[in-house]
Amino acid sequence: MVYGITNVFNYAPRHVSDASCVAYAWIVPLSEALGFTFLQLVMILRLYAMSNRSRPLLALLLVGYSVAQGILYTDTLRNAVDIGLTTTNRHPYGYGGLCLAESGNLIEPLLRGQYASLLAFEALMLVISLIFFVKHLKQSTGMLGRCSTRNMVVVLVRDNVLYFFVTAAIFAAESLSGKEVDWAPVDHVAFDVFNGVMSGFVVGIVGPHLILSILSNHAEATRGGPSIQLADLTTVNFSGGRTGLNDPLVSYVP
């Protein structure tokens, strides 16, 4: 959301000082990067819970997370510094206050770079989530009563698949807004507004929803009540068995 707001300055460069330009170069990428850094960490905890606290899987996810975040923030710092240097170099030539219009092309590679690293890790988490989905679906086959099949579908679509495609939609919009066209820059505002709104949706709604759903679902499954404890964040047990012919026991019921 911060990105969507600050990017409006890109279309009014004559009213933006050099100092604001440098700040813009940092605000744009960091407002996006920090949000997805938090969300991907939450998704790691989700998959860790689905795997019944598998440490090898956690190690794999943390390695992928570290690589993706390293690329993300290295690209962030490099491009922010480049824009700052470009501003300084152009100031003697009378470009003061015009740095956003003249240097805007340096921001677009940053956005593509950071989303490429994010999407690569998102794809990995999506594959892992689908593997566990098939596993749990097979385990629940033939169970009667409160079968967890439907619940697992809801969890995966809501927390994994949907999140992946929302991220992909933002990446696609960023790529479109970065294409060179013959129209004036103002024609790109629609894409930037979309990016800002979608980023605000992901960071402001999906993130807290994931945390609360993990906590409340586990509390309900293990204690039968709404009370939430910190341990609920990393413990979700999908295993189940029968206590009678028509009385299945499913320990995870969203």
Number of structural domains (the chain) is 1
Termini Cα distance of the chain: 30
Which residue segment(s) compose the domain that 166 sits in? 2-250
Strand partners, 248: 242
Phi, psi of 243 (to 5 degrees): -100, -5
Residues sharing a CB contact under 8 Å with residue 236, sequence separation 6 or more, in sequence order: 49, 50, 214, 217, 218, 221, 252
The model's pTM: 0.56
* Chunked mean pLDDT (size 10), the chain, 254 residues: 48 49 63 74 79 85 88 74 57 49 48 70 82 70 48 61 70 58 46 60 60 61 55 45 35 35
Q: What are the backbone angles phi and psi of residue 252, rounded to the nearest 5°? A: -125, 105
Residues 166 and 201: beta-carbon distance below 8 Å: yes
The residue type of 168 is: A
Q: Report the alpha-carbon distance of residue 238 to residue 235 in Å, rounded.
A: 10
- Is there a contact between 189 and 11 (Cβ–Cβ < 8 Å)? yes
